[in-house]
A and B are shown apart, each in its own frame.
Chain A
Amino acid sequence: MSEATLPKAMLERIEDFGGAAQPLLKVVGLTKHFPVRGGLLSKARTVRAVDNVSFEIAKGETVGIVGESGCGKSTTARLLMHLMTRDAGEILYDGMQVGRALSLRELRRGMQMVFQDSYASLNPRLTIEESIAFGPKVHGMDDAPARKLARELLDKVGLRPETFANRYPHEISGGQRQRVNIARALALSPRLVILDEAVSALDKSVEAQVLNLLADLKSEFGLTYLFISHDLNVVRYISDRVLVMYLGEVVELGPVDQVWDAPAHPYTRALLAAMPAADPDNRTETPPITGDPPNPIDPPPGCRFHTRCASAEPMCSAASPTLTDLDGAGHQAACYMAIPGSGHSRASAAEKAA
């Protein structure tokens, strides 16, 4: 990146190094703990925001992360973007380690993020065109081509450049602002886009428009998405694979249809059962679980879900189950009930599974 200081008319495309078999992003043992200072007499405590999270995202794939507030899904996104430092774990982008084979600057070109709050994530003093052109200019592009690129991208996200380019963020609607944020993320031609609740603040009819746009852009630019959301219907619609997080840990992951149709972890089951009904004659009668998600400060020992789980047994609070493969096709769950021969009364006997 030494020649990055020279103004350029175009940014070079980021090369594919590892080939199709190499995951675009590989995360191993990602961990982030926040210390909470104790009071005069109470001892310091820890928020285990993200705890030993590992997953891969293949090239061209869309991976969803679901979970409730405090489960660590947004912290995971920020760690991947290197917006905060991690305590432990490895993040490999196309097989390269950030800080070694890949500079942070290059990573930011290869990986971009769209946030939930479309207004807070745009500079109110810059016009939309300036906001989109800002990133490419930082990366060494000339002003004129950067502005031209911004206008092209506005067109791509369905906003007429002649109408919108010179407006300020407060002059456009939430759906339009989110399109601007998507355009800005694409301005550096990244290969991975992290969408952190990017459609959650939008009205339903606008949400559908933006989801269609995301699908179009994905095929046009060959993008890979990490799609973080609490809306299970949207995640099922957009994702190929999904991670279910609870209190900083991945409790289940796998192809979205397998996880949705045959959830193996009781938390995933509860989350799916908590979706409001779609049929007026088939309303939900009993809540799937009671109580609020516990505070991620000093989470319960063992399986973190055992305090709300109807099938919890003494072993569940003693040690935490590890993610275990269920079908040989990538569906994994961290629950003793799903692990054959684990000793849980509802687990199948050993030797049965692969």
Chain B
Amino acid sequence: MTKLVEVENLNVRFTGERTVHAINGVSFSLGEGEVLGLLGESGSGKSVTLRALMRLLPKKRTVINGSIRVAGRDVLALDDDELSMFRGATVSMIFQEPALALDPVYTIGQQISEAVIRHEGKSQREATARALEMLEVVRIPSAKRRLDAYPHEMSGGMRQRAMIALALACKPKILLADEPTTALDATVQIQILLLLRELQREFGMSVIFVTHDIGVAIEICDRVAVMYAGQIVETGTLRQIVRSPLHPYPRGLLASTTHGAKRGQRLETIPGTPPSLDKAPTGCSFAPRCALAEARCTEALPPAIDVGDGRMARCVLAERIQPASV
């Protein structure tokens, strides 16, 4: 299977007043037509990983090491012109807050047709036709009228649909989704998730979906990478991660859910808080909060252990698992 995205040993460090080691040795790949979820809490580096793929991080304050290959191209070597052709045409992104991501002074129709003209060299008339088509694809009612609407004239759910239409207007191979349903109401969130699932199948695109909500991941992902303190601590299929997580962090995360918890019964918690990222990790970042930590956990970085079936856990406990038995 060809890999559309291959990230090898990615490190992202923010410099300035204080240094933040945001991403520490992240490797993953994304296959054709696959939906990969990056699951983690705030500060775990999931959004930074996503932004690195599109080189959206501030140039002056960011040090990026490692390799990012998207559709066979070395993303870190692209110059500015190549980069602006790459963004939108090969990879595009949707954000949590469409009100901030869309330009407030242009209509939805103008914003979509501008992208089509820029990337595909179409005429204004053709581009407007594409814009209308896209609004229909994302099922915006009375699409024709909505072409002339400004972002502030639409409801939250409509704006999110418009942003998806804009992101997909040039038929990108890969869609990066950064918590696109987090700011939405429950009844709207499920509509957008189902829409994305349907469009992913229809367009055959690959998706990297960043979320902190395991329920959202369950609705949309094929594979999940769980992030903690700038590292991927476990990767596996959605079922593997949800049903039998190996790493103590996803195990604790799944156990601490209020879903199905009995009233009056104490919730399982992960004690403590995530580490500050001002130093690069020299041992397991989760060890201080882990009930199963051993001396060797803090002495050296735990190895990324391949337990077979494309499943990886960055924990010494996974050593005991025979690859064949999984």
Chain A 9-20 per-residue mask, 1 if CB under 8 angstroms from chain B, else 0: 000000000000
Tally of A-B Cβ pairs under 8 angstroms: 124
**Given A204-B41, A212-B269: A68 in contact with B259 (beta carbons within 8 A):** no
Q: Which partner residue on chain A sits nearest B222 by CB separation?
A: A280
A203 touches B212 (CB 8 A): yes
Q: Which residues of B contact A58 (CB under 8 A)?
A: none
A232/B267 in contact, CB under 8 A: no
Could you say which residues of chain B place their CB within 8 Å of the CB of A234? 258
With an 8 A cutoff between CB atoms, is A289 at the interface?
yes
Q: How far is the CA of A37 from the CA of B218 in the complex (A)?
A: 44
Nearest chain A CB to B161's CB is how many angstroms away?
10
B208-247 to A contact mask, C-beta < 8 Å, 1/0: 0000111110110000000000000000001100110000
- Contact across chains for A212 and B219 when beta carbons are under 8 A apart: no
Asked if A280 and B239 make an inter-chain contact with CB atoms under 8 angstroms apart, the answer reads: yes
Give residues 130-161 of A contacting B (CB, 8 Å): none
Q: Does A120 have its Cβ within 8 Å of any Cβ on chain B? A: no
Q: Could you mark each residue 188-220 of chain A with 1 if its beta carbon is under 8 Å from any beta carbon of chain B, else 0? A: 000000000000000111111101100100000
With an 8 Å Cβ cutoff, the count of chain A residues facing the other chain is: 50
A residues 106-128 in Cβ contact with B at 8 Å: none
B257 on interface, CB distance cutoff 8 Å: yes
Partner of A276 from B156, B157, B219, B273 at Cβ < 8 Å: B219
A284 within 8 A of B: yes
How distant is the Cα of A206 from the Cα of B42 in the complex, in angstroms?
11
B267 adjacent to A211 (CB under 8 Å)? yes
Kindly state whether residue B58 has any CB partner on chain A within 8 Å: no
B242, B256, B258 interface centre (most CB from chain A within 10 Å): B258
Contact A288 B266 (CB under 8 A): no
Does B155 reach chain A (CB closer than 8 Å)?
yes
With A205-B253, A274-B190 as contacts: A233 and B266 at CB distance below 8 Å: no
**Which of B70-78, B105-113, B165-173, B181-189 makes up part of the contact surface?**
B181-189
Which range holds the interface residue count of chain B?
A: 35 or more
Contacts of A295 in B (CB 8 A): 155
A238 to B194, Cβ gap below 8 A?
Answer: no
Q: Are B258 and A230 in contact (CB under 8 A)?
A: no
Tell me the chain A residues, 246-283 only, with Cβ under 8 Å from chain B: 256, 270-271, 273-281, 283
Q: Considering the complex, which residues of chain B in the window 196-218 have a beta carbon less than 8 Å from any beta carbon of chain A?
A: 212-216, 218
Contact partners of A176 in chain B: CB under 8 A:
273
Q: Is A286 interfacial (CB-CB < 8 Å)?
A: yes
| Residue among B155, B186, B218, B260 with most chain A CB within 10 A | B186
Which residue of B is nearest A235, CB measured? B258
- With A173-B273, A208-B256, A238-B263 already in contact, the answer to whether A276 and B41 are too (CB < 8 A) is no
Do B238 and A237 have beta carbons less than 8 Å apart?
A: no
A277 B252 Cβ-Cβ under 8 A = no
CB neighbours (8 Å) of B257 from chain A are: 204, 208, 233
- Tell me, yes or no, whether B261 is within 8 Å of chain A by CB: yes
Task: Indicate if the CB atoms of B263 and A237 lie closer than 8 Å.
Answer: yes
Interface of A is mostly: loop
Which B residues lie within 8 Å of A231 (CB)?
Answer: 258
Cβ distance A172 to chain B, nearest Cβ, rounded Å: 10
Q: Cβ of A174: which chain B residues have Cβ within 8 Å of it?
A: 42
Q: How far is the CA of A207 from the CA of B190 in the complex (A)?
A: 22
Do residues A209 and B187 form an inter-chain contact, with CB atoms below 8 A?
Answer: no
> In the bound complex, how far is the Cα of B258 from the Cα of A208, in angstroms?
8
CA distance A277 to B242 in the complex (A): 12
Cβ-based interface call for A236 (8 A) = yes
Q: Which of chain A's residues have a CB closer than 8 A to the CB of B214?
A: 204
Whether, in the assembled complex, A351 has its beta carbon less than 8 Å from a beta carbon of chain B, the answer is no
In the bound complex, residues from chain A placing their C-beta under 8 Å from that of B212 are 203-204
A287 at the interface (CB under 8 A from B): yes
The answer to whether B216 and A288 touch across the interface, beta carbons within 8 angstroms, is: no
Residue among B242, B252, B260 making CB contact with A205, cutoff 8 Å: B252
Chain A residues with Cβ under 8 A from B316's Cβ? none
Closest to B252 in A: A205
B27 to chain A, nearest CB (A): 24
Given A271-B187, A284-B194, A292-B155: A203 and B42 interface contact (C-beta under 8 Å) = yes
Judged by a CB distance under 8 angstroms, whether A163 is at the interface is no
| Interface assignment of A29: CB less than 8 Å from any CB of chain B | no
B284 interface residue, CB < 8 Å from A?
no
Tell me which residues across on chain B come within 8 A of A270, comparing CB atoms: 187
Does B304 touch A at the CB level, under 8 Å? no
How far does the Cβ of B199 sit from chain A's closest Cβ, in whole Å?
Answer: 14
Q: Which residues of B, 33-49, contact A by the 8 Å Cβ criterion? A: 41-42
With A and B bound together, what is the CA distance between A285 and B198 in angstroms? Answer: 10
Name the CB-closest residue of B to A71.
Answer: B185
Contact check, B256 vs A204: say whether CB atoms are below 8 A apart.
yes
- Are A276 and B215 CB-contacts (below 8 A) given A208-B256, A233-B259, A237-B263? yes
Q: Given the complex, which residues of B lie within 8 Å of A291, measured CB to CB? A: 157
Tell me the complex Cα distance, A69–B155, Å: 12
B270 within 8 A of A: yes
Supplied contacts A206-B273, A274-B186, A276-B213, 18 more A-B pairs, CB within 8 Å: A68-B186, A204-B41, A204-B257, A212-B269, A238-B263, A275-B186, A276-B215, A277-B215, A278-B215, A278-B260, A285-B194, A287-B190, A287-B191, A290-B191, A291-B157, A292-B155, A292-B158, A292-B188
Q: List 12 A-B contacts (CB under 8 A).
A: A204-B41, A206-B41, A208-B267, A215-B266, A233-B257, A275-B215, A276-B190, A276-B218, A281-B239, A287-B194, A288-B190, A292-B157
Give 6 closest A-B pairs by Cβ, nearest first: A276-B215, A203-B41, A68-B185, A208-B256, A292-B155, A208-B267
